[in-house]
Chain A
Amino acid sequence: MNTKQITELSLCQLSGHLQSGEITAVQAAKAYLDVIREREPSIKAYLSVLEGEAMQKAAQIDDRRSRGEKLSPLAGIPAGIKDNICTRGFTTTCASRMLENFVPPYDAHVIEKLDEAGAVMLGKLNMDEFAMGSSTENSYFQVTHNPRDLSCVPGGSSGGSAAAVAANEAVFALGSDTGGSIRQPAAFCGVVGMKPTYGTVSRYGLVAFASSLDQIGPLTRDVTDSAMVMDCIAGHDSRDTTSIDMEKLDYSAELGKDIRGMKIALPKEFFGEGLSDDVRKGIETAVARFKELGAEIVEVSMPTLSHALSAYYIISSAEASSNLARFDGIRYGYRAQDYDDITSLYKNSRSEGFGQEVKRRIMLGTFALSSGYYDAYYKKALQVRTLIVNDYNRIFEQCDCILSPVAPTTAYKIGEKTSNPLEMYLGDIYTVPVNIAGVPALSMPCATASNGLPVGMQLIGRPFSEPVLYRIGRAYETTCETTSR
C-alpha cells in the first residue's frame, strides 16, 4: 500500500493490517510523517512533530510483534496529542507564550495509557491558548486551517486535533473539552469527537482550564475508532480524585446493534434564533434518517438552556482564574525581562505571557469570585448548574439520548469572528450545557451543507452511556455510508 492508501485507513482497519503484518508500524509512521511534511505548510495543525521518537517507537512495536508478543489494537497506531496534555520530556505549551519552553517531567495518565498500548505519538497539536476559544485563532504560535476549506477555521479549542485527523495527518488525536472544545472542531472538520462523562478519563496531566468541566476525549475518523480509543484511555486513576472508581465499560460492546424503538429527544429550544439554515437542514436530515432506522423522535423542552451560557462563562472563568494563577514567572514559564520588584515581575510576566482571550477570562473569573460578588455570580452559576442537571435527568427519564446541533453554523472564515468575543461565545450554546451537567456527548458529521462543509450533530446521553451513544452513532454512520461514501 502507498502512503495515501495507508493514511486513508481508519484506526480499526489499520489495526487489522498491522496485526496481519500487511503493514508494519514503521511503514505506518513513515506514511503519516510524509503526509505531515506534505500538508503541514497549508494546515498548520502541529506545534511540534516528534519524528525521531515516532520512528523509534514504531520500530519497537514491529520488533515486539515479530517476537510474537500479543499487542493492543492501538499498537503501532500513529496519533497526535493536543498540546495541553503533559508529555514527559517534550514541550507542552498550551499554545501559549507562557509555556513556550515548558517541558513536563511527567506524562499525563492518558499518555501512559497510550504508551502502554503501543500507540505512536507523532507530535503535539495546536489549540486555542489554554483551551480558551472556539477557532484555534487564539494560539500564540499559529493559525490552523480547516482541511475541508483552508480559508476556514477548524473550530476550537482542539482545532489542531480535529484538523490533523481530517487531513489524514494522524489516525486519531486526543483533545480536551471544557465547553465544546472536542465536539465543535470535530463538527467543523467533519470528524467524530467524544466528550466522555466527567470522571471517565483521568485529568492527571491535563493542564487545567476549568477543573470541574474539563475532560479528555478522542477525535477520530469514525465511531468505531472512537470507541477503540476510549477502550484504551478510560478508567479509574487514583491520582485524580474526580476520576470515577467503577468497573471499566466496554465501549465497543454495543457497536453494530440496531436502534429500533430507541427514543431520541429533540429539545425545541435548540431550534430557535441564531441557528443557521445549513445546520437546521442537517439536523432535519438526521431526524429523517433516525426515523428510517426505527427510532422514535420525541420533542422535549429544556427551559434552562438560556441560562447555560452565562453559568458556563462564570464557572469556567472563575476556575481558570485560579488554575492559571500558578503561571507567575517565578519557577518556570515566561518571565518578563523588565521588572523592579515582585509585583512588577508578576504583572509584566503575566501581561506579556498571556494572550488577550486568556487575560479576558482571568479578569472575568477574578471578578466573579471577588468579595461581595461571589453570591451574585459564582454561587448563582452553581445553582443554575443544578437546574441544568435536573433538566437532563427529566429528559433521560423518558429518552435514550438527545439529538442536538453542535454549533449554530458550519465552519466560518478565519478572522471572521475574532473582533467580537461575545459572538464567539454564543457559538458555544449547544455544547456548554453538556459540560455543566457532566454528561457524555458524541459529535459526528450528519450531513453536508450547501457550501460543501460538514454539518455536525451531537448525541447527548446519560452519565456513562457512551456505549449507547456509540451504538446510535454507528447506526447513523451506516446510513451515510450507503448514501455518500
Chain B
Amino acid sequence: MSAFTSEYEMVIGLEVHVELKTRTKIFCSCPTDFGAEPNTHVCPVCMGLPGSLPVLNRKVVEYAIKAGMATNCTIARYSKQDRKNYFYPDLPKAYQISQYDLPLCEHGYLDIETSTGSKRIGITRIHIEEDAGKLVHDKSGTFIDCNRCGVPLIEIVSEPDIRSAEEAVAYLQKLRATILYTGISDCRMQEGSLRCDVNLSVHKPGQPFGTRTEMKNLNSFQYVQKAIEFEYRRQVEAIENGEEIVQETRRFDEKSGKTSSMRRKEDANDYRYFPDPDLAPIEMSEQQLEQLQASIPVLPDQRKSKYIEQFGLTAYDAEMLTATPETADYFESVCAATEYPKQAANLMLTEVFRLMSAESEDTVRIPVAPAHLAALVNMTIDGKINSSTEKKVLGELWKNGDQSPEEYIRAHDLFQLSDPVLLEQLVDQAIAQNPKSIADFKKGKTNALKSLVGQIMGKTSGRANPVIVQQLIDEKVAKL
C-alpha cells in the first residue's frame, strides 16, 4: 500500500443475505432443498403464474425474529411486506416481495474482536424477502431455474461502523456465528446461503463521508477482504488523481481480485415500493415474542465471557472458539476431560482449526473425539509425549481414523524418552561426533549447540525430551 493511503479512512456498511433453513418456501409449500433438478421444486405460486397468491410461511417470520433477538434488535409488533418492482428474467412476478419501511427487526448490534480490541457494530435492520431464480447461460442460450424462487431470505443491514477489512471479516464471522447458534440457517457461503454486499467509501478523518460504491454478492470471507482492500486503494488513488468517485454498483472479479463498474446510479431501478395488497400486515403478540425469546439458545458472547472468566482465555481466542456452536461444544467437551483449558484452546486454535480449514469453510467436522484431544493435551503436559508428537498424533487420528491416543502412541512407540541414562549416552555420542560445533561454542557462538539437539531428536524419531536433552548438553559442554 502506498504511503498516502494512510491519510484516508475507509467507511464500510455491509448488507448480508442469509437463506433461512425452513423446510418450505416463503409463500408456498415447495421444498427449499439445494441442488435439485432445475424447475422441479416449483408451483404456480413461486412461478408467479397469473391468479396465484402468496401465503406467508409463519416459520420465516419466527426465524427472522430469532435472528433479530440474537443480534440485540428491537422486534416490530406490527410489520408489513412490500413489493420491489423490477424486470429481470429470474424474477417471475417482476417484483420481489420484501419489506420496505416497516422491517421486522431494527436497531441491533454485534460486538466484534480484532487485533486492536473490541468494537460494537450497529445493525440498522433485518427484514424478510424472497429469493429470485437462477439464470444458467450456455452456448445454446439462457435458461431459467426457478427452484430458488421464493426461498426465504433475511437481509441484515449494518450501520456504516466498519473501518477496515479486518473488522468487516470479524463482523461477518460474528454474524455467522450468531446465526448458526440460533439454528435458522446453515450459513454456507459456497452454496450461497450467506451472501454479502459491501458498501464502501473513503474520506480523511474529520471530513464528511465520501461517495460510496457497492460490491455485490461476495461469497467468501476472503473475497470480502480482497474486494475491500482493492476498492479502498482504487478510491484513494482516484481521489489523489483528482477524479470523482461515482455512486455505482461494482462487480468483484474473483480471479483478478479487482472490482469493475457494473451499473451507475443513474441507471439504477426505481423500485416503486408499495405495500403488497395480497398479504396482510404481520402482527406479533407479546406472548409470541416471549416464546421466541425463550427459544434463543446460549449465544457466542455468553460462551465467550465464560471462557475468559473460567478458563482464562484472551477475548480474541474465546471469540475464535465460539465462531461456530460445533467448535464451542467441542471445546467444552475437551475441557470436561482435562484440567488444562488454555493448552487445549491453543491446540484447537492452531492444529484443529488448520486441519478444519483444509477441508471446508462452511462445515465443521472434527473427527477426533473430544476425550482423545484432551488425552493428548494431558499427556503433553505430563511429559509423556512432546508437543511435536502431540501434533503428529492428532494429524494421524484425524486422517486415518480416530482411536485412543495412548494406544496409538504405545503401538507406534512414540512415548517421550526422558530416561537420563539413555539420553546421556546419546548426548555423549553427539558431543563426540561434533567437535567443530563444540569448538565454535567455546569461541562464543551461542547457537552452535542447536544442531546437537536436532540430531538427537532425529535419532529418536522425535521422541527425546528436548528439555532434558538441552540440559544434559549444557552440563556436559560446560565441563569440557
Q: Which residues of A contact B (CB under 8 A)?
A: 85-86, 92, 94, 99, 102, 104-106, 108, 203-208, 210-212, 238-242, 318-319, 321-322, 325-328, 330-332, 342, 346, 366, 369-371, 374, 378
Contact = CB atoms under 8 A, between A and B. Distances in A.
Contacts of A210: 277
B381 interface: no
A221 B71 CA distance: 62
Contacts of B7: none
Given A330-B144, A370-B270, A319 B277 contact: yes
Grouping DSSP codes into helix (H, G, I), strand (E, B) and loop, the A interface class, with mixed when no group exceeds half, is loop
A222 B188 CA distance: 62
B336 interface: no
Given A207-B50, A319-B277, A330-B144, A106 B270 contact: no
Contacts of B52: 106, 204-205
A215 B437 CA distance: 98
Interface stretch (B53-61, B195-203, B349-357): B53-61
Given A242-B280, A325-B93, A328-B94, A208 B272 contact: no
A210 B279 CA distance: 13
A106 B44 CA distance: 8
A328 B270 CA distance: 18
Contacts of B85: 321-322, 325, 369
B274 A241 contact: no
Interface range for B? 20 to 34
B50 A366 contact: no
A131 to B, nearest CB: 12
Contact of A239 (B47, B55, B272): B55
B31 interface: no
Contacts of B55: 238-241
Contacts of B183: none
B51 A104 contact: yes
A148 B85 CA distance: 44
B50 A99 contact: yes
Nearest to B95: A322
Given A212-B277, A370-B272, A378-B274, A204 B94 contact: no
Contacts of A238: 55
A241 B280 contact: yes
Given A207-B51, A326-B94, A371 B278 contact: no
Interface string B288-320: 000000000000000000000000000000000
B55 to A, nearest CB: 6
A338 to B, nearest CB: 17
B51 A326 contact: no
21 contacts: A92-B50, A99-B50, A102-B50, A105-B49, A106-B52, A108-B51, A205-B51, A205-B52, A207-B51, A211-B278, A239-B53, A241-B53, A321-B272, A322-B83, A325-B93, A326-B50, A326-B92, A326-B93, A342-B89, A369-B274, A370-B272
Interface string B2-35: 0000000000000000000000000000000000
B87 interface: yes
Contacts of A94: 50
A326 B48 contact: yes
A204 B53 contact: yes
Contacts of B49: 104-106, 332
Most A CB contacts (10 A, CB to CB) among B48, B83, B87, B92 go to B87
A366 B271 CA distance: 10
A108 B95 CA distance: 22
Contacts of A346: 87
B89 A330 contact: yes
A86 B51 contact: yes
B263 to A, nearest CB: 14
A106 B49 CA distance: 10
Contacts of A204: 51-53
Interface string B202-234: 000000000000000000000000000000000
A104 B50 contact: yes
Given A105-B44, A241-B55, A86 B94 contact: no
Sorted nearest first, the 6 A-B pairs with minimum C-beta distance are A325-B94, A212-B277, A369-B272, A211-B277, A207-B50, A205-B51
Nearest to A86: B51
Nearest to B274: A369
Nearest to A347: B87
Nearest to A327: B50
A240 B83 contact: no
Contacts of A328: 87, 89, 94
Interface string B118-140: 00000000000000000000000
A366 B52 CA distance: 22
B255 to A, nearest CB: 26
Contacts of B47: 331
A330 B159 CA distance: 38
A369 B277 CA distance: 14
A346 B86 CA distance: 12
A137 B87 CA distance: 30
A207 B48 CA distance: 11
Contacts of B53: 203-204, 239-241
Contacts of A239: 53, 55
Contact of A241 (B87, B93, B278): B278
Nearest to A315: B277
A433 B279 CA distance: 22
A128 to B, nearest CB: 16
Interface in B37-80: 44, 47-56
Given A238-B55, A326-B92, A330-B144, A318 B50 contact: no
A369 B216 CA distance: 26
Nearest to A102: B50
A206 B51 CA distance: 5
Contacts of B56: 241
Contacts of B274: 318-319, 322, 369, 374, 378
Contacts of B51: 85-86, 92, 104, 106, 108, 204-208
B418 to A, nearest CB: 75
A207 B50 CA distance: 5
Nearest to A205: B51
Given A322-B83, A325-B93, 4 more contacts: A210-B277, A211-B278, A325-B85, A326-B93
Nearest to B47: A331
B278 A331 contact: no
Contacts of A330: 89, 144
B54 A241 contact: yes
B160 to A, nearest CB: 22
Nearest to A240: B53
A85 B52 CA distance: 11
A321 B47 CA distance: 19
A470 to B, nearest CB: 28
B130 to A, nearest CB: 14
A347 B109 CA distance: 44
Nearest to B84: A322
A331 B92 contact: yes
Given A241-B56, A241-B280, A326-B94, A371 B270 contact: yes
Contacts of A212: 277
Contacts of B92: 326, 331
A296 to B, nearest CB: 37
Contacts of B273: 369, 374
Nearest to B88: A342
A319 B49 CA distance: 16
Most A CB contacts (10 A, CB to CB) among B50, B83, B87, B272 go to B50
Contacts of B277: 210-212, 242, 319
A388 to B, nearest CB: 16
A442 B280 CA distance: 27
Contacts of B93: 325-326
A99 B53 CA distance: 19
A205 B93 CA distance: 15
B427 to A, nearest CB: 79
Contacts of A331: 47, 92, 144
Most A CB contacts (10 A, CB to CB) among B49, B53, B93, B94 go to B53
